[in-house]
Every structure is written in structure tokens, then in C-alpha cells.
Amino acid sequence: MIKSEKEYNALLERIEELLSNPDNIENAESKGYLELNILSDLVADYEERHYSIQPPSLAESIKLRMQERGLSQKALAEFLGVSSSRISEYLNGKSEPTLQIAREISRKLDIDASIVLGI
């Protein structure tokens, strides 16, 4: 178990060294292969505890989809069948969509239901 940021950084350096030798990646019989796998697991556990990635908020997800699809707030409002002011409230976190609108957001914008429902 990694106990400090210093240990974490030292292991990252060692992993980089091991990755520079293709044999450590491809040959399961090599000593470096085993070391690389053990160190990678240790680093992954440390990162999960200290640098976990949180799922995006509904507002972040909607903004991303709007950008990807070139939608304005007005166009999104029409697409979902709600007012532009309601979209603004969703984007600013001032209100949550109804279950029916949440379903439409999930389906039409291809946003995971757990994000739309905040679970």
C-alpha cells in the first residue's frame, strides 16, 4: 500500500522505466512484467483513493451535449419541448427536470440515466 505522495511519485517513475522496455509489457515470463503489474495495481489503488473521478453533473453533461451537437439553449428547449428559461434553470442548477423531461434528456441527448437522476 502506498502511504505518501512521495512514494506514489517514486512508483510512477519506476513504472515509466519499466514501460520503456517492451519485454516488460509483452513477455509474461519477464521479471519486469510482474513488477510492472504489481506497481500498476498499487498506483491504481492509491489513485482511486486520492484522485477519484466524480461523475459529471447534469448541467455539465447537458452543456457537453449542446456543444457536441451545436445546440443553443433555444434549440435544446425546442428539441426537449420545454421553455428556454427552464433549460437555463437546469444549466444553472436552479431546478431539476421532471421525471418525464429527465427521460427525454436521457433518451434524446444520450446521457446516462444515473447522471440525469443524480444517483
Q: If pLDDT is split at 50, 70 and 90, which confidence band does 84 have?
A: very high
| Structure confidence at residue 119 as a pLDDT band (50, 70, 90) | confident
- Among 15, 30, 50, the domain-final residue is 50
Q: Verify that 20 and 62 share a domain, yes or no.
A: no
64 and 30 part of one domain: no
- Predicted confidence at residue 118, as pLDDT, reads 81
The predicted structure's pLDDT at residue 74: 95
Q: 92-107 pLDDT, tens per residue?
A: 989 999 999 999 999 9
Integer angstrom CA distances of residue 72 from 65, 77, 110: 10, 8, 17
For residue 33, the model assigns a pLDDT of: 95
Count of structural domains, the chain: 2
With a CB cutoff of 8 Å and minimum separation 6, the contacts of 87 are: 62, 73, 76, 77, 80
Query: Is residue 54 exposed (0-12), middle (13-18) or buried (19+ Cβ within 10 Å)?
Result: exposed
The domain of 42 spans 5-50
* Residue 43 and residue 72 in one domain: no
C-alpha cell at 47: 489513485
What pLDDT is recorded for position 58? 93
% of the chain exceeding 90 in pLDDT: 84
Cβ neighbours around 72 below 10 Å, total: 11
The pLDDT tens digits of the residues spanning 28-74 come to 999 899 999 999 999 999 999 999 888 899 999 999 999 999 999 99
Q: Is residue 13 over pLDDT 90?
A: yes
- Both 65 and 112 in one domain: the answer is yes
